[in-house]
Structure 1
Amino acid sequence: LWLDPEKTSPYDFYQYWRNVADSDVENCLCLLTFLPMDEVRRLSALKDAAINEAKKVLAYEVTKLVHGEEAARQAQEATEALFGGNAKDMSNVPAIEITPEDMTAKIIDVLTAAKVFSSKREARQLIAQGGLTVADTVLQDAEACLSADMFDADKSLLIRKGKKKYFRLLVK
């Protein structure tokens, strides 16, 4: 985890704190936020599914301190759009800009060039395990190419790597 947004994006930074272990929430709230201790105790007392409220507060507060309020808000909105089940405004989801020529390139070439994968081998392995989703469809073929009809009207395409890593491909 890096404080530099070039190494860890505000969205990934937010996600790190959003997914901290339940047992660490109280310590993190105490040490890493400026919340009043009464609020820290209230949030720390939450159990089971309710502890997610405390994790949202933790993620927002720490991201706000490190990256600023606007970046924290954008990370929070992207998370709600992806995992909240109601909002579908994907404008704050991390984006990878591609050229119009990339719209017909091999998916693994585009994603490897964008550093989503460290290598084509990693990409092929994840695809073989059913871990890459392109526009709500699990990618089965490691040699599959992008096509213009995959992109929405805004020339955007949602990619999910594993269970929780999301990216939008945006045509410049």
Structure 2
Amino acid sequence: MTYHPKSEFLRVMIERGFLADCTDMQGLDEALMAGPAPAYIGFDATARSLHVGSLIQIMMLRWLQKTGHKPITLMGGGTTKVGDPSFRADERPLLDDAAIQANIDGIQRVFAAYIEYGDTPSGALMINNAEWLDQLNYIAFLRDIGRHFSVNRMLSFESVKSRLDREQSLSFLEFNYMILQAYDFLELNRRYGCILQMGGSDQWGNIVNGIDLTRRVLDHEVYGLTSPLLTTADGRKMGKSADGAVWLNADMCPPYTFWQFWRNTMDADVGRFLKLYTELPVSECDRLGALQGSEINEAKIILANEVTTLLHGAEAARAAEATAREVFEKGGVGDDLPTLELSPDEIGDGISIVQLIVKSGLAKSGKEAKRLIAENGARLDDAPLTDAGLMLDRAALEVPVKLSAGKKRHALVKIES
């Protein structure tokens, strides 16, 4: 029999497609009904920004707060020093304290767009697990915490097994990660009364470990809930585009580029993404997702506007849409395109079109830029580019020029003013 939850949060998770699995649906439902419940998601600080792949988790925290509960964003200042081996083919590069702190500073800026921090029953908390992990005494930790873990069971988790089955090395450092993540849940429960850990379905084993450890050490009942690991309709991992990761920080991915990523959503994904990444009513998401032909493009613009408004604000979304219409419908330049500004020294006696395509981010290498030109995929001010040896001098760049790669990617190039 399907369980029908009473709590608004679980109803939202199910209706909008966030729920992959839950350790005890009925128990969690009753705990949520009892009053504001603290729940957390952990984010390791492996880069200066999170990317779109993390947005499903951020939206879960947002819905948690909107339904009256207390989100905890746990920054992995301690666990980043170890590196999560889950479903990875190799070990993560190890970062020093300064690099980890710089990454945490960059990541924290995004959360404030989605959730409100403060000292209220549902005010969010920002916590760094280095607070307790950096202070651990190794022998005491092994004796008090390590004894609760069975190596046989740890080896049976899919995230570890997949690495061992491929006969790829799993360092003892990485093997400790799941113990440290389990200890995070224990500490958050002890310090803040946290009763729920959420994460992607690849975190299931780590979450279950934390639940078991908290029960054994504190005799407290806690819960786990996972979201599906998203792929786009063509099988690509969510958060990746042809140009690499789609970052959430504006200095790493301008609002126009972010908007354009959502505008380029595949038809089959529109309804699903509207439910996950916007707050439009489910019925409206279903209606928009069912549109056919050219009408689905208007649904994609709604998706792009709603998602961009949540992260960057309504003004950025309006500017991105206006630029897109200018570029695509009128053949214009648009004010909000990603812009490459060159100093006179960089131009010198002239700069090659291949260099400009690479510097503007439309190709990753000179070889890729030349191939783009050879395959008639590159344009200069909307005219096809055919000569990979073309040089532009300072006079040619006095007025901004528009570079295009394919139909959907554009950039402006101009001299610094």
Same-fold call, TM > 0.5? yes
| Runs of 4+ that moved beyond 4 A | 148-152
Match of 2:362 among 86, 94, 116: 116
Aligned to 1:156: 400
Residue 113 of structure 1 deviates from its aligned partner by 3.4
| Matched letter for residue 125 of structure 1 | R
**Partner Cα separation in structure 2 for residue 118 and residue 44 of structure 1:** 34
TM-score, normalised to structure 1's length? 0.85
Residue 55 of structure 1 deviates from its aligned partner by 0.7
Q: Report the secondary structure of 2:321's partner residue.
A: helix
Q: CA RMSD in A?
A: 2.2
Deviations 1:71-112 (A, max 9, x none): 2122111111111237x4621122111224528321222332
Q: Report the secondary structure of 1:48's partner residue.
A: coil
Aligned to 1:47: 292
Aligned to 2:306: 61
Number of aligned residue pairs: 169
Is residue 125 of structure 2 the alignment partner of residue 125 of structure 1? no
Task: Give 1 or 2 for the bigger CA radius of gyration.
Answer: 2
**Partner Cα separation in structure 2 for residue 128 and residue 157 of structure 1:** 20
**Partner Cα separation in structure 1 for residue 413 and residue 394 of structure 2:** 12
Aligned to 2:273: 28
Q: Report the secondary structure of 1:170's partner residue.
A: strand
Match of 1:97 among 341, 344, 351: 341
Residue 56 of structure 1 deviates from its aligned partner by 0.6
Residue 148 of structure 1 deviates from its aligned partner by 5.1
Aligned to 1:171: 415
Contact 1:60 1:76 in 2 (8 A): yes
Q: Report the secondary structure of 2:341's partner residue.
A: strand
**Partner Cα separation in structure 1 for residue 287 and residue 360 of structure 2:** 42
Residues 41 and 122 (structure 1), Cα distance of their counterparts in 2 relative to 1, 3 Å cut: closer
Is residue 318 of structure 2 the alignment partner of residue 73 of structure 1? yes
**Partner Cα separation in structure 2 for residue 85 and residue 21 of structure 1:** 23
TM-score, normalised to structure 2's length? 0.38
Residue 10 of structure 1 deviates from its aligned partner by 1.6
Residues 168 and 121 (structure 1), Cα distance of their counterparts in 2 relative to 1, 3 Å cut: same
**Partner Cα separation in structure 1 for residue 293 and residue 358 of structure 2:** 38
Residue 134 of structure 1 deviates from its aligned partner by 0.8
**Partner Cα separation in structure 1 for residue 360 and residue 327 of structure 2:** 21
**Partner Cα separation in structure 2 for residue 32 and residue 20 of structure 1:** 12
User: Percent identity, aligned pairs only?
Assistant: 36
Residue 168 of structure 1 deviates from its aligned partner by 0.9
Aligned to 2:383: 137
Q: Report the secondary structure of 1:121's partner residue.
A: helix
Which consecutive residues of structure 2, in runs of 5 or more, have no partner in the other structure?
Answer: 1-245
Relative contact order higher in (CA < 8 Å, ≥ 6 apart): 1
Residue 61 of structure 1 deviates from its aligned partner by 0.3
Question: Which of 95-104 and 65-74 deviates more?
Answer: 95-104
Q: Report the secondary structure of 1:127's partner residue.
A: helix
| Matched letter for residue 124 of structure 1 | K
Q: Report the secondary structure of 1:96's partner residue.
A: strand
Contact 1:18 1:55 in 2 (8 A): yes
Is residue 260 of structure 2 the alignment partner of residue 15 of structure 1? yes
**Partner Cα separation in structure 2 for residue 160 and residue 91 of structure 1:** 15
**Partner Cα separation in structure 2 for residue 110 and residue 137 of structure 1:** 16
Q: Report the secondary structure of 1:93's partner residue.
A: coil
Which consecutive residues of structure 1, in runs of 5 or more, have no partner in the other structure?
Answer: none
**Partner Cα separation in structure 2 for residue 71 and residue 27 of structure 1:** 24
| Matched letter for residue 163 of structure 1 | K
Q: Report the secondary structure of 1:122's partner residue.
A: helix
